[in-house]
Structure 1
Amino acid sequence: MQASARNRFAGTISAVREGAINSEIELTTPGGDVIVAVVTQTSAQRLGLAVGKEAIALIKAPWVMVLTDEGGIKLSARNRMAGTVSRLIKGAVNSDVVIALPGGSAVHAVVTNDAVAELGLKEGVAATALFKASHVILGVSA
């Protein structure tokens, strides 16, 4: 499958919580990362999403927020992946921030250069990637 989303996490569905309109799906990667997605009941049924099924989570880099100090901050973003900045590519306005995760994968975030400066982002800095469950797109093999 080809897609424009830089963040691709293959894994196995480890939990499904059905609601009246949406389902909450947990995908566990081979590295142990857990990604929570919210999809409509219709999509969950059409894709056959069930515990044990292989799936891919896609998250576009601009949908990822970066946090460097949790210091009592409470957010509604369900997905939090802590790691270390492994690469920072600055553009004219935005930067591509790559956060290496302990399980061997990485998360890309596109943030403004002002945010890079404010957060003190550079290679080797501890950082957490945050993204909402509603920003996760799930795919399965046909």
Structure 2
Amino acid sequence: MSALSALAQHISRRPQRIALLAQIAEQGSISRAAKGVGMSYKAAWEAVDELNNLAGIPLVLRSVGGKGGGGAQLSAEGLRLLALYRRLEALQAELLQAAEDDADLRLLGRLMLRTSARNQLSGTVRAIRAQGRNDLVELELPGGLPLVAQITHASTQRLELALDRPAVALLKAGWIELHAAEAQLPAELNCLPGRIEAILEDPQGPSEVRLALPGGQTLCALVEPARLQALGLGVGNPALAAFAPQQVLLGTPP
């Protein structure tokens, strides 16, 4: 199964996201597309981030404007994904007809779990190094960025991880620490460089900071406004996202 097919199956379980892509193609704007599908602007940005990250290449090309503004259009891969989804819809109808009873569908639902992790970064396994009962699994993200996860050896076997196989790194936004681009950090940490493309303030808690990574993926971190001010970080500034290998969860595509 190709990566695009796997992604189309993933979003077939979340049809509002396909509707969002279709609206972006028609409207040329994330904000207008969000209104068209009854989604908040923040949720639409999150959906676009997740889809771009899982695809490994941009499906939506954005130009950032003012608050709630900016233009957007689907890339060639995004347009291909829309066409593929429509083909999968037909196959899904055949599957529903073939299912013997509701128990079959409930079983499929349990096997297709969603995750609460804000960040889902697709990559390729480049190394697996034993460390006691654990393994250090190194992924290569788009753009050549390395990311290391520490998981148990049993998990490595259960996920059937192997060199050059695809995998998805799951990371909660609250686990990420943001630093200035020139910061010197411990070698054992994952340090992903990027540029801040958006800061969404929340009067009741930390701000949501979106960091555009070199390979086209987006990382979301929750950062207190006081820390952003102390670091002198704002939209357009380079920054480092740091987190421990133990904080990375891994998954494999179906």
TM-score (norm 1): 0.91
Contact 1:76 1:132 in 2 (8 A): no
Matched with 1:107 is 219
- Superposition pairs for residues 41-120 of structure 1, below 5 Å? 41-71=153-183, 73-75=184-186, 77-92=188-203, 93-120=205-232
Could you list the per-position Cα deviations for residues 102-135 of structure 1 after superposition, in whole angstroms to 9, with x for gaps in the alignment? 1111111101121122112210111111111001
Q: Does 1:141 align with 2:244?
A: no
* Structure 1 alignment gaps of length 5 or more: none
1:14 to 113, 126, 150: 126
Identity score, percent: 36
| Alignment CA distance shift 1:65-1:99 (3 Å) | same
Q: Which amino acid aligns with 1:15?
A: A
* Structure 2 alignment gaps of length 5 or more: 1-112
Separation in structure 1 between the aligned mates of residue 118 and residue 133 of structure 2, nearest angstrom: 28
- When structure 1 is superposed on structure 2, of 55-64 and 118-127 the one drifting more is 118-127
Shift of 1:69: 4.7
* Structure with the larger RCO, 1 or 2 (CA within 8 Å, 6+ apart): 1
Separation in structure 2 between the aligned mates of residue 28 and residue 134 of structure 1, nearest angstrom: 17
Length, aligned pairs only: 141
Specify the structure having the higher radius of gyration (Cα).
2
Runs of 4+ in 1 over 3 A off after TM superposition: none
More strand as a share of residues? 1
SS at match of 2:143: coil
SS at match of 1:31: helix
More helix as a share of residues? 2
TM-score (norm 2): 0.53
